[in-house]
Every structure is written in C-alpha cells, then in structure tokens.
Structure 1
Amino acid sequence: MASEAVVITVPGPNGDREVRISSPSRVLWPELGITKLDLANYLVAVGDAFVRANGDRPVSLERFPEGVGGEVFFSKNPPRGAPDYVRAVPVVYPSARSHPQLVIDEPAAAVWGAQMNTIVFHPWASRAENSDNPDQLRIDLDPQPGTDFSDAVPAAIELRKVLAEAGLDAFIKTSGNRGLHVFAPIEPTHEFQDVRHAVIAAARELERRMPDKVTTNWWKEERGERIFVDFNQANRDRTMAGAYSPRALAHAPVATPVTWDELETVNPRDFTILTVPDRLATVGDPWEHFGEKPGTIDQLLGWWQCDLDAGLGELPFPPDYPKMPGEPPRVQPSRAKKD
C-alpha cells in the first residue's frame, strides 16, 4: 500500500529543507478539520517570526498523537531519528539533574516538530548557550473564575507602567486562551531565582496599585475574582506557549504578539492557525525588534529587598519543586487553619 506521506519544502537560513510529513490528513483540530499538514504549512508561513521568538532556546514539545482532546505528552530530549538540523543543549532542571533539551534554530525544525505531532511549543526564558541565566522576564496574567480577557487588559497596561518605572521595555502577546503574557528583554546576568524575585516584586507593586483587580495569592481559594499574576512561571523549567505557537483548544488559537496600541480592541479568539499568517503578512510582527534594548532587573531586585525589609518574604513554589530557602509552608490556608 502506497504511503500517504508528503514532503514539503521549508525555506530557512541554510537554504531549503525537505521535511517529510507522514499522515498529513490526520485531523488535529476536529471541530475545524485542521490537519497535520495544515499545521506544518502554518509553521512554514510564520517560520521567520516563530524562530525569531522561540529559536536558540531549550524547548519542550507538547505532542498530541491523536489530536486535540486525545493523549498528550511532553518531549524534552531529542527523540531518536531527529534530523541533523535539530540540535540539543544540556540544561539543569530543578531536581539538579542535567539532560539535553531540544533547540529550534530554523523553521524546518519547527515543521519537524509538527511531524512529531507537536501542537504547543514551550521555549525557555534563557538562551541555549546560557540556559542558567534568563534573557527574558516573563509575567503571566491569568484570569480567574469570574474574570476574563477584558479584565486582564487593564492589568497588563498598568504592569507595563510598573516595568517602565523599573527601566524595562515591555512587550505583550495573547496566551492563546483567556490570559496575557507580558515579556521584557533583560540582560542575562542573573539566574532564575533572581528573575523570579524580580517578577514577584513587579507583581506585588501591581497588586498594590490594583488590589481589587489583581492578586499574587498562590492558593486558589484566596484569589477571588481577580487576575492572578503567576510568578511561578518565572521558575527554571517553567514555560509558556511561545509566540506564534498554536494551542490545543478546539478553535485552534495561537499565542499571538500584539501591539500595545491595539491591545484594548483585539479579541484573542480571532488569532488562529487560519488567520495569523495573513495578519503577519499585513500587520507585521509586533515583536520583530524584541531584545534589541535589553534592560536589567536591578531596580526590581531593589524593590524585592524593600519588600523583604518590610516583612514580605518568599512565596510558595510549585509542588514538584524541592523545598526552597525561605519558602512558606506548602499547605493551603483553609487546611492549615483546620490543623
């Protein structure tokens, strides 16, 4: 029986690559009938912007062999049979173990990811050759029950002001769901825990300015109907869907960079695999110049120290992390009260 596989041509910095796509008619998004080949063609169309945003970084692949709604697993190490243009670098995980992690250097590597049934690409906040020191400060604005994207917008606008006061130039993208991701390029001179503390300092300042709208409470029972500033996304080996990465939701959304001027008028549901290539071709890439003027986290670390001096200490880490210095007890407040 003849194979259904097709070969597509992927332009890149090293010339054209021929990437084989097996089972191209496999439907990954059933509601829209979007196939594996459609995903590969999408990544070709957005290839330059995708690599600019996610390339030269350790990346985890979130793979869906049966499409959205089916089995899902993550790949971090390069699987056997990876082409020679897909490289890996050693990284250290929170457990202190070190393993090689995939790196995307050109659009063909992203298309190869699609061949491996990858839907969501999760890049680290650090570069491949300096993986211990992030060059991006990332803040996840996560709407809680009772809030939505429209509630995250004013929080993002105020957060931009907070970061500007700390000397940082903020960029923004949709999460691909209901939230927003605010990024700022930084000099890679501090390790992850320092950057986490800088994020907490910014989050606390935002919370002071918008106490009824924003929260840094880690425990869900304490968040209320507010936007949660997820500081733990700044930890080592914690990632967000990369810019221009698809998301595994029924309407095939894409985590999409937007300009600050358009933020208050965009609808994140409009950004999908079917629409983003045309947007990129007509509007351009709002993150094209990301990273050209990195700042430092020195001012934010000064704020962190001021909060420490005022009695505000460390915040909880994710449950799979080792116990960290200064961390409060990992027990939800209602259970602690009962105990």
Structure 2
Amino acid sequence: MGDSYRLVRIEDAEIKISNPHKLLFPKAGITKWDFILACTRLAPLLLPYCKNRLLTTIRYPDGAGQPSFYQKNAPHHRPDWVQTEREGEIEYILLNNTPTLIWLANLACLEFHVSFHTANHPDYPTELVMDLDPSVDDFSRVVEVALLTRQVLHQMNLDGVIKTSGASGLQIYVPIEPRYRYEQTRKVNHFIARYLAERHPSLITLERKVHHRGDKVYFDYLQHWRNKTLVAPYSPRATPEATVSTPVGWEEVNESLSPKQWTLETIFDRLKQRGDLFEPVTRGPGYRLDPILQFMDRHRL
C-alpha cells in the first residue's frame, strides 16, 4: 500500500486503486477510497438489475461538479473479467460483477445508467418505465403525479415500484414479461401519459422543451426506448450531496419525500431498515400487457 494507490482483491480480481485520497465529492467530503467502499456495499443491490444490461457511465475525473463525459464503449485496457456485449457500433460494458463495479469506480465513474433490455434481446424491454421530472422547484407536484399514475396503473390491473432519481424526479417501473417490443410498450406508456395529461392539464405536460413546460411536471414516456438508458436503482449520482437513486415504498410517496433524501452516507442505515424495495422488479414475475394492448386496438387508441 502506498499514498498514491492501494491494491484490493475482490473475487480473485486484483484492482489497483489510484489516488485513494482524492476527493470525488468535495462538498460531502467523500474520497475515492470512501466511494470504493460504498460501491462495494451497494454492489449486492445495484448489480441484480444491471446484470446483462448495456451500461453507460458518466465519468468525473476531477470529481463531482467538475467536467464529465459519457462513456459507452468499453476501454481497450479493460481487464479480462470485464464482460462486454456489442450492439451496433458500440461494445458496451456489462455491469455483472463487483470487480467490474470497483474497476469503474476507480475510473471515477460516479453514475451508472443502463438499458431497459438485456443483452441479446434488444427489442424486448423488461418493464414499463415512467420518468417524472419537475419543471420548477416544487417536488410535491411530482409526488402528486406519481400517485395519480399509480391510480391509473391499478385501473389497468398493474402496479409498479417507484424510486427517486437521486437528482430531481421520480421513476416508476412496472415489471413485464419480456415478450413485448418497444413499439408496444411505447404505445402503453403514451396512452397512460396522454390520459393523465388530458385529465390534469394544469399539472402534467408531455412537452419536451423545458422552457415550454411552465410549472408542470413532465411525464417522459419517450425515454423508454432502444439505445436509451436511465440511472440504475442504487446508483450514486454526481450531486454535491452524493445522492443515491433510491427505491421507496408507496406509503413514503408524500409531501415529506425528497429526491435528495438518501446519500452515500445515509443509504446504508435505510437499507438495514427497509431492505431491497426494488426486488419485485428484479425478481418478477412480470405483468402481461395483452389485455391492455387488445383494448387499445379495439378502441383504436
């Protein structure tokens, strides 16, 4: 061990951690070594959903708040135990094991975003996903939209798991059987979004341009598509507070909820109390969408 690096061994993989004392989250006082330890503890929760999904990371070489860049292509210098999958022109990393997570953390990858489908099944997402983003600094409006969305899901005999984005919004995941193409899941998502926007025009918008949204909550049904990603559950976020995208119970979706409620310093006490609330998505079983799609076809919706 030296001041400029540390060697760690995880699952028979030896990883050199460079500059362990470097501050990756200066405001929170979190060093790279702190981040490595936190990622190791998060791995049992972060990896199950990420398994075999195409990974996009956001790297912050000088820490949160400094310049960053997206990385999709796997670096040529990667270790042999880093699994990859080529889709189109890109050779994606598969975040399938703890050594890969720690290797990426050492590269100052502070966020982990994954595809909605698994490798080798590029046309078939494993869930419906609804991304709810506020347009103003009033999170209670996002909470209201989330609860309205769940009411509609219940009317369709569906239910979902909700998580904070770790940044500004909420995201709802409805596990489905991976037998429906993106065109079909987009149709269902659009139907839900349009229905809610028409019922609550002063609260919800489908407008993509931020400056045209006013104070409405953006119901993003378009993000759920091929070659797009969303931040993984339990992924850290490159915020000053070192927030974590955290699944929550529906009973917690109220005015006291904040998207920045849990951080790399507070998430572990919560996990001891609540466990893995995202497990219904990763374990399944998923819902069938046939009745909904048939209804929409009959009514030409």
- TM-score (ref. length: structure 2): 0.91
Q: How many percent of aligned residue pairs carry the same amino acid?
A: 31
CA contact (8 A) 1:173 1:255 kept: yes
SS in 2 for 1:124: strand
Residue type matched to 1:117 in 2?
A
CA contact (8 A) 2:122 2:226 kept: no
Structure-1 separation of matches of 2:67 and 2:109: 12
Partner of 1:212: 202
CA contact (8 A) 1:170 1:184 kept: yes
Change (3 A) 1:283 1:59: same
Q: Does 1:165 align with 2:155?
A: yes
In the TM superposition, residue 48 of structure 1 has moved relative to its aligned partner by 0.6
Runs of 5+ unmatched residues, structure 2 = none
SS in 2 for 1:193: helix
Residue type matched to 2:6 in 1?
V
Change (3 A) 1:37 1:263: same
Structure-2 separation of matches of 1:118 and 1:85: 18
Aligned residue-pair number: 298
In the TM superposition, residue 9 of structure 1 has moved relative to its aligned partner by 4.2
Partner of 1:247: 237
Q: Does 1:39 align with 2:31?
A: no
User: What does the per-residue CA deviation read over 1:218-237, in whole Å, with 9 as the maximum and x for residues that have no partner?
Assistant: 33344221110012211222
SS in 2 for 1:235: coil
Partner of 2:140: 150
Structure-1 separation of matches of 2:228 and 2:260: 25
Structure-2 separation of matches of 1:234 and 1:290: 16
Structure-1 separation of matches of 2:138 and 2:48: 29
Structure-1 separation of matches of 2:19 and 2:125: 37
SS in 2 for 1:85: coil
Change (3 A) 1:115 1:268: same
What do you get for the CA RMSD once the two structures are aligned? 2.1
Partner of 1:4: 4
In the TM superposition, residue 209 of structure 1 has moved relative to its aligned partner by 3.1
Runs of 5+ unmatched residues, structure 1 = 92-96, 311-339
Structure-2 separation of matches of 1:304 and 1:115: 48
CA contact (8 A) 1:64 1:73 kept: yes
Change (3 A) 1:148 1:55: farther
CA contact (8 A) 2:127 2:175 kept: yes
Partner of 1:141: 132
Residue type matched to 1:273 in 2?
L
CA contact (8 A) 1:201 1:303 kept: no
Q: Does 1:296 align with 2:267?
A: no
CA contact (8 A) 1:168 1:294 kept: no
Question: Which of 102, 112, 115 is matched with 2:106 structurally?
Answer: 115
Partner of 1:333: none
CA contact (8 A) 2:176 2:288 kept: yes
**Highest RCO, 1 vs 2 (Cα 8 Å, sep ≥ 6):** 2
Query: Greater share of strand residues, 1 or 2?
Result: 2
Question: Which of 198, 217, 221 is matched with 2:188 structurally?
Answer: 198
CA contact (8 A) 1:137 1:234 kept: yes
Partner of 2:179: 189
- TM-score (ref. length: structure 1): 0.82
In the TM superposition, residue 70 of structure 1 has moved relative to its aligned partner by 1.6
In the TM superposition, residue 296 of structure 1 has moved relative to its aligned partner by 2.8
